[in-house]
């Protein structure tokens, strides 16, 4: 089973006060879908992070999003976007981690012919803190 994980598309973002930059973000979104979702024939796409740049989505930005979502061939499976990033952080209070460096763990797993592990990363107890370093532990 193959899947594509993408995050932080930020449709509708304007950079450097350039009127064409929202179109650049859209073109990049379409390119990723065509090149990796369709080109690699993935079974599903996981979209996390910020899909839209603003909470209030202008109609033209919504049109970009819909155009990208319906660009897949008609015979492909259905796909769903889940606002995991916002749901976890703002609604459920679940801390998220990203950019994990697991090279040493991957080497150990390969060396011992293992493929599964449990990664836990409890945050430090800092009452009132907004963010804190994690203390990751891999149990094999």
pLDDT in tens, 52-98: 777 777 777 777 677 666 655 544 554 555 555 666 666 666 666 76
Q: CA triplet 131, 137, 140: central angle to 5 degrees? A: 150
d(CA 111, CA 30): 39
Rounded CA gap, 80 and 113, in Å? 34
Cα–Cα dist 14/97, whole Å: 27
In this predicted structure, the answer to whether residue 115 has a pLDDT above a threshold of 50 is: yes
What's the pLDDT at 82? 52
Cα dihedral sign for 72, 76, 77, 78? positive
Q: In this model, does residue 3 exceed pLDDT 70?
A: yes
User: How many CB atoms are closer than 10 A to CB 22?
Assistant: 20
Residues 94, 108: Cα–Cα separation, whole Å: 29
Of the listed ranges 5-19, 34-48, 84-98, the least confidently predicted one is: 84-98
Higher pLDDT, 70 or 133: 133
- Do residues 9 and 29 lie in contact, with contact meaning Cβ atoms separated by under 8 Å? yes
- pLDDT value for 75: 45
**Greatest CA separation found in the chain?**
54
Share of the chain above pLDDT 70, in %: 75
pLDDT-based confidence at 42, cuts 50/70/90?
confident
Q: From 90, 94, 95, 9, select the one nearest 46 (Cα to Cα).
A: 9
């Amino acid at each position: 089973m193959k899947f594509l994980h993408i995050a932080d598309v930020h449709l509708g973002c304007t950079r450097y006060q350039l009127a064409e930059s929202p179109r650049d973000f859209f073109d990049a979104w379409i390119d990723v879908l065509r090149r990796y979702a369709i080109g690699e024939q993935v079974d599903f796409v996981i979209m996390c992070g910020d899909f839209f740049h603003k909470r209030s989505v202008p109609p033209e930005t919504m049109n970009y999003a819909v155009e990208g979502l319906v660009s897949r061939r008609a015979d492909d499976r259905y796909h769903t976007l889940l606002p995991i990033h916002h749901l976890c952080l703002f609604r459920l209070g679940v801390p998220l981690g990203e950019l994990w460096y697991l090279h040493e763990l991957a080497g150990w797993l390969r060396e011992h012919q293992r493929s599964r592990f449990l990664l836990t990363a409890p945050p430090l107890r800092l009452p009132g803190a907004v963010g804190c370093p994690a203390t990751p532990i891999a149990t094999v």
